[in-house]
Amino acid sequence: DAGNSVVIEERLEGQELSVLALVDGRTISVLDPAQDHKPVGEGDTGPNTGGMGAYCPTPLATEDVMGKVQRDVLVPIVDALRREGTEFRGVLYAGLMLTPAGPKVLEFNVRFGDPECQPLMTRLRGDLLEILWQTAQGNLDDVEFDFDPRTACTVVMCAEGYPGAYRKGMEISGLSEAGALEGVVVFQAGTKRTENGQTVTNGGRVLGVTALGEDLRIARDRANEACRLIEFEGAFYRHDIGERVLAPA
């Protein structure tokens, strides 16, 4: 029922950018920005989903853009929260639209994004548990980590019908073959293992097939190649993750 009434404030046009930051109450450590792809269909068509794929880093996050995001978005919200008595510690996710008038906030989340987290974690060089623990303790200055300079691209394999009604329980094959490809990690999301050890679908967004590459095109090609090795009835995915950056209109 929450969606029965809609307030339209402003139409924003541009590319979406997800900026995730670790915040320990005061210190903000901005993680490499990613770009999500919400529409279900190739060429950004069809209804919105939770995310059909993401890549990281993205050339959309120029020094100028990130300077504005830090100054106009992240610092003010963390300061405002502290002033209101909430010393926020954790992952702050700013979903932004890069408009001609500058970056505009679409949403805040207090968690990692899905699928943005998958390319980000594939590139992380450091001990995630230690990083998150020190963040929670307010000691972000004490942790050291950086990111693999290569690009990671995640392609989400979905069940037929998603984001509408979909069936569950389809047998998934090819996971080991895909995971054995160079630089490929297959994250399982909407899956479950049956009593006889078979992995089956158990959600709409089933797998986050992720690949590292020297650049976005190589990473995406590898992720798509890995997807071709994985089969379940009705499986579909977008082949064009990152296309708006690779071949701008």
Q: How far is the CB of 190 from ligand GLY (least distance, A)?
A: 15
Q: Which of 116, 118, 190, 230 binds ligand GLY (CB under 6 A)?
A: 116
CB-nearer residue toward ligand GLY: 110 or 180: 110
CB-nearer residue toward ligand GLY: 25 or 53: 53
CB-nearer residue toward ligand GLY: 32 or 36: 36
Q: Which of 32, 36, 240, 243 binds ligand GLY (CB under 6 A)?
A: 36
- Interacting span for ligand GLY (CB under 6 A) from 8-16, 79-87, 109-117, 175-183: 109-117
- Interacting span for ligand GLY (CB under 6 A) from 4-12, 81-89, 108-116, 235-243: 108-116
Residues 44-63 that bind ligand GLY (CB under 6 A): 50-51
CB-nearer residue toward ligand GLY: 30 or 200: 30
CB-nearer residue toward ligand GLY: 38 or 82: 38
CB-nearer residue toward ligand GLY: 34 or 212: 34
Candidates 28, 27, 94; CA nearest to 61 is: 94
Q: Which residue is nearest to ligand GLY (CB)?
A: 113
**Distance (Å, rounded) from C-alpha 86 to C-alpha 96?**
23
Are 225 and 210 spatial neighbours (Cβ–Cβ below 8 Å)? Answer: no
Q: Which of 16, 32, 114, 243 binds ligand GLY (CB under 6 A)?
A: 114
Cis bond before residue 59 (omega within 30° of 0):
no
**Distance (Å, rounded) from C-alpha 108 to C-alpha 244?**
24
Q: How far is the CB of 157 from ligand GLY (least distance, A)?
A: 16
Contact residues toward ligand GLY (CB under 6 A) are 36, 50-51, 109, 113-114, 116
